A and B are shown apart, each in its own frame.
Chain A
Amino acid sequence: MRLRRLRRVGWVLLGSLALLGARWWVRPTPQAAPASGATPERAAAEETSTADHTKFEILQQPFRTGPEVTKACLSCHTEAAKQVMATTHWTWVYQPPTSNEVWGKRYDINNFCVAIVSNWPRCTSCHVGYGWKDDSFDFDNETAVDCLVCHDTTGTYKKFPAGAGHPAYEPKEFPPGSGKIWEPPDLSYVAQHVGRTSRRTCGACHFYGGGGDGVKHGDMDSTLAEPPKDVDVHMSPEGAGLTCGDCHKPQAHAIPGSRYVMVAKDTHGKDLPESDGFPTSCESCHGLRPHELGKLNDHVDRVACQTCHIPAFARGKRPTKLWWDWSVAGDKARGKETDEHGWEVYNYMKGEFRWGKNVVPVYRWFNGQMDVMTLGERIDPDKPVYINEPHGDARDPNSRIYPFKEFRGKQGYDPEYKLLLVPHLFPFHPDDTTAFWKGFDWGPAFEVGMKTAGLPYSGRYDWIETTMYWPITHMVAPAEQALKCQACHTRQGRLAALAETIYIPAQSGHPWLDPIGWTLTGLTLLGVGIHAGLRMVGRRRS
């Protein structure tokens, strides 16, 4: 009888367990988070401004040059130029907190147009100033700050591509011989229609890095001015409609978001609308456990949001450049060649290119720190040359798996001094044949480039392959287009290259496990088969 009672207790226990289980079993399936509806209307913001710039008399004059406009701006905004001049946008100098080196565009080298030195007027067409045409530029001249390039709301103000930061003041052709005429903007009209920055103003430079639309970054091109939702869910007018400044929140004209030192892992979580001084990251809005499905939240300690939510970069209208080989430049007979997409694959001024759209990133451990090569840094030509390299390690809790655009190319180096060479590309004056884009001779181009940079040059040059890594963080796709589990959780998934550094189910595994396991399983089946056969033989014999 005791036994029977116990059995009854048992069934009751089992029943309650089953009920408990069912509650958890039928947990609702995760649903996409509702799209943020609290998008501030930009137009409304402009209407709430307390100043109508068309009514300022000082702006109702026929400005002849950019600096004249700046002078007018500064008559009210007395501290604006000082603020701008303290920022990287002005100095192009960056002091990393983690290194004694000095970085910044002024001292960096890359594998696009390589270096600014000796090529100023072309490169500084993206400087937030006027007139940086050579080494003598006065960085203390307040009227040389360009207010309009960031604050134009008309879309008519454009810096001339080879104007050292100035717009065209008379109709000018660029590129030379292209027949494309750059008309001078109506500076008075632009000055009376200044306002907040926009995707368009930031993009005027940042979409065109590397000398063309979408060339450099991979996650930014002119599509982002008005992106469809599937290209960028945050910046799309059908999405959150955010502008650059919503995340890159300026403080006294200083705009956070440097790629030299980034935040690869935000442990602060939600800190908007009032920033806690920590740079805005995905977590600033989405928090530290953004997914409904718990297991996805278990990934955020080791996998950056970008890794799953930017399934591919260059998803806009333009492809991004993936390869640039300077060594074959200068062949005027080849002139310019395009591929079947109409993408330029050869240009006698620049060499051979490869492009990509919908490019799958490479993934690296990243703690936010970049190692950056600067002018005059020796290379080891026997090893792969990384011009910049993300730092990070699976064993470092501050590192996460992060997506990058890997950009490779071939550029000149000095085999004797083991230095990457600065090419003098853009002529100092119309008769400057030492410039490669005038004389098409690398000898003088490297000689003048290195001399201007104050670096030694042996007179010999050769070509070497180099690699750069560009962190991918824009072009976040709508949630339903994020990577599915099996993008990584499969044999030869996206993170195959990192399978040795962290255990990824379905991807990683002890190399002996499966061979031994399946061999033993096979032997078992074989043994069972033989046993069954022998039984049948035995039965037939009897």
Chain B
Amino acid sequence: MRSVRRVYLYTRFERFWHWMQALLIIGLGITGFEIHGTYTWLGFAKAYMWHVRFGLALVALIVFAAFWHFTTGQWKQYIPSFERIGVMLRYYTQGMFRNEPHPYKKSELSKLNPLQRLTYLVFKILIAPIFVTTGLLMIFYNRWPEWGLNWDLGTVATLHSIAAFLMLIFFIVHVYMTTTGRTLFANIKAMLVGYEEVPWEEADVASVGD
């Protein structure tokens, strides 16, 4: 029996930020795919109005989270480390099925494994900016001539939709990956309460601060 220790992984703000973001993104997805024409549920007008509200709320949250990340220095969590990505991939595609231990140990100083770092970084510097830019552009579509923009609305909308499909795929994998913790719900629980039970072994000490 390995001993475990409770690690305070996610601060109150991070948890608030994560779940707000989750709610807004789910809301944006539901309303967004209706606006896209995939189905009819709320009716276009309501779907549109809520999509814009959720979207602007998310922009506000992003601005705020960015402020938090830079003032607290937590942005460093997303600096990619490529050297152990191979190990991670090997674990997820092979090791996990043989019940091998997770090759990465979370800690207060390093909360994200290399795959997470990379994925979230791509989300932050690629997908989110595409979403926000194309989304805001579409809200202010009628001002384009005023601003001297002569872009094609269809292209901007298509970019927004591509980002949406990428987001949907991320969402599916992300939710699935929460079940790969020590127990099926360990990761979700950690994001709710802040603490995660991490195996405590001598060897782990070395990996801290990777």
Shortest Cβ gap from B14 to chain A (Å) = 11
Contact partner of A509 among B36, B40, B179, CB < 8 A? B36
CB pair A517 B37 closer than 8 Å: no
6 nearest CB pairs, A to B: A506-B37, A538-B97, A517-B165, A485-B44, A503-B154, A486-B44
In the complex, per-residue mask of A6-34: 1 if CB is within 8 Å of any chain B CB, else 0? 11001001100100010011000000000
B99 at the interface (CB under 8 A from A): yes
CB pair B161 A513 closer than 8 Å: yes
In the complex, per-residue mask of B168-208: 1 if CB is within 8 Å of any chain A CB, else 0? 11001100100110000000000000000000000000000
Interface residues on A, range: 35 or more
Which A residues are CB-close (under 8 A) to B34? 506
Which A residues are CB-close (under 8 A) to B68? 10
Which B residues are CB-close (under 8 A) to A172? none
Shortest Cβ gap from A417 to chain B (Å) = 45
A462 to B169, CA, bound (A): 62
Chain B residue, CB-CB nearest to A506:
B37
Main DSSP-derived SS at the A contact region: helix
Do A6 and B71 form a contact, CB below 8 Å, given A506-B36, A535-B96?
A: yes
Q: Given A484-B45, A489-B37, 20 more contacts at CB 8 Å?
A: A10-B64, A10-B67, A21-B57, A24-B56, A301-B142, A505-B157, A506-B36, A506-B37, A506-B44, A508-B154, A509-B158, A513-B165, A517-B164, A517-B165, A521-B165, A524-B172, A525-B172, A528-B172, A538-B99, A542-B98
CB pair B172 A521 closer than 8 Å: yes
Q: List 26 A-B contacts (CB under 8 A).
A: A7-B72, A10-B64, A10-B67, A10-B68, A14-B64, A17-B60, A21-B57, A25-B53, A484-B45, A485-B45, A486-B43, A491-B37, A503-B153, A503-B154, A509-B157, A509-B158, A510-B154, A513-B158, A514-B38, A517-B161, A517-B165, A517-B168, A520-B169, A531-B176, A535-B96, A538-B99
B48 at the interface (CB under 8 A from A): yes
A332 at the interface (CB under 8 A from B): no
Chain A residue, CB-CB nearest to B153:
A503
Shortest Cβ gap from B99 to chain A (Å) = 5
Q: Which residues of A contact B (CB under 8 A)?
A: 3, 6-7, 10, 13-14, 17, 21, 24-25, 295, 298, 301, 484-486, 489-491, 502-503, 505-510, 513-514, 516-518, 520-521, 524-525, 528, 531-532, 534-535, 537-539, 542
A281 to B87, CA, bound (A): 70
Q: Which residues of B contact A (CB under 8 A)?
A: 13, 34-38, 40, 43-45, 48, 53, 56-57, 60, 63-64, 67-68, 71-72, 92, 96-99, 141-142, 152-154, 157-158, 161-162, 164-165, 168-169, 172-173, 176, 179-180
Which B residues are CB-close (under 8 A) to A508? 154, 157
Which B residues are CB-close (under 8 A) to A503? 152-154, 157
Which B residues are CB-close (under 8 A) to A6? 71-72
CB pair B158 A484 closer than 8 Å: no
Chain A residue, CB-CB nearest to B57:
A21
A491 to B37, CA, bound (A): 6
Contact partner of A520 among B37, B67, B161, B165, CB < 8 A? B165
Which B residues are CB-close (under 8 A) to A10? 13, 64, 67-68, 71
CB pair A505 B97 closer than 8 Å: no
CB pair B72 A17 closer than 8 Å: no
Q: Most chain-B CB neighbours within 10 Å: which of A507, A524, A534?
A: A524
Chain B residue, CB-CB nearest to A25:
B53
Contact partner of B72 among A3, A13, A25, A517, CB < 8 A? A3
Main DSSP-derived SS at the B contact region: helix
CB pair B35 A506 closer than 8 Å: yes
Contact partner of A13 among B48, B53, B64, CB < 8 A? B64
Which A residues are CB-close (under 8 A) to B99? 538-539, 542
Which B residues are CB-close (under 8 A) to A534? 97
Shortest Cβ gap from A302 to chain B (Å) = 9
Shortest Cβ gap from B93 to chain A (Å) = 8
A409 to B71, CA, bound (A): 74
A542 to B176, CA, bound (A): 22
A535 to B38, CA, bound (A): 33
A51 to B134, CA, bound (A): 66
Chain A residue, CB-CB nearest to B170:
A524
CB pair B96 A484 closer than 8 Å: no
Chain A residue, CB-CB nearest to B169:
A524
Q: Most chain-B CB neighbours within 10 Å: which of A7, A507, A542?
A: A7
A508 to B153, CA, bound (A): 11
A275 to B49, CA, bound (A): 37
Which B residues are CB-close (under 8 A) to A514? 38
Chain A residue, CB-CB nearest to B37:
A506
Which A residues are CB-close (under 8 A) to B168? 517, 521
A517 to B162, CA, bound (A): 7
Do A490 and B173 form a contact, CB below 8 Å, given A14-B64, A17-B60?
A: no
A298 to B40, CA, bound (A): 23
A531 to B89, CA, bound (A): 13
